[in-house]
Amino acid sequence: MKITNIFNRKKKDNPIHSLPFLQELVTITKNGYTDKAVMLLETKGKSNNPVSIPYTSDAIKTDFEAVRQCMVSENLDDNELAALLAIAMMKKHPKSISQLLLDNGYSSPSLERIMYLGTYTSTLRSLAEFASIGVKKYKISSCGDSKVCAKCAKHTGKKHFVDKAVIGKTAPPFCEKCRCIIIADF
Ligand SMILES: [Zn+2]
């Protein structure tokens, strides 16, 4: 009994687990500690993550790299990074994260901004996946409803080379409210 107590306490005191989950994830991401991100998501992430499919270490690494790229190119502040991590790595719905952000000491960016960063990161993730399985081209697909703006409509159905993709020009997001995705073109 005593040994168990000591073990539990030790586990809690481990610096990796001393911060709230999302704060820890933000710190790890800013520092680029890929292995720590994998460890955190594989262990503690399970109870925080509602995804039904197993979150493999390869998938975690791909997501982590995509988030890091987005963080650098979009020059994200901590609030934006926390929001992006909540949707891209904790797989939360963008509309459901404001309380989580508040609980972790962050203020919530606008939903529009969160969606934009989510689309940005999805594109990076898809491009990395396509490259890793040898897919050379991708096709742009808008969600196809009446809300698609003229900018995005212009890109719909266009095909581009994976290794020449430029976000904002040949890959989504194309606008601030972009919900376009890219699909593999075989
Ligand atoms: Zn779009």
pLDDT tens-digit series, residues 99-108: 999 999 999 9
Place of tokens 């107590």: 5
User: Distance, CA 25 to ligand 1 centroid (Å)?
Assistant: 28
The stretch 83-106 carries a mean pLDDT of 94
User: Distance, CA 150 to ligand 1 centroid (Å)?
Assistant: 9
The C-alpha atoms of residue 81 and residue 84 are separated, in whole angstroms, by 5
User: Distance, CA 134 to ligand 1 centroid (Å)?
Assistant: 25
User: Distance, CA 72 to ligand 1 centroid (Å)?
Assistant: 21
Dihedral-angle region of residue 127 (phi above 0 means left; psi in -120 to 50 means alpha; beta otherwise): alpha
Complete edge-to-edge strand list for the sheet that includes strand 181-185: 159-161, 137-141, 181-185
The confidence score (pLDDT) of residue 50 equals 55
Element (H, E) at 155: helix 150-155
User: Distance, CA 82 to ligand 1 centroid (Å)?
Assistant: 23
Q: Place 186 in a pLDDT band, splitting at 50, 70 and 90.
A: confident
Give pLDDT tens digits for 20-79. Answer: 889 999 999 999 999 999 998 887 655 665 555 678 899 999 999 999 999 999 999 999
The stretch 146-151 carries a mean pLDDT of 80
The confidence score (pLDDT) of residue 147 equals 77
Smallest CA-to-CA distance from 144 within 153, 135, 136 is with 153
Dihedral-angle region of residue 123 (phi above 0 means left; psi in -120 to 50 means alpha; beta otherwise): alpha
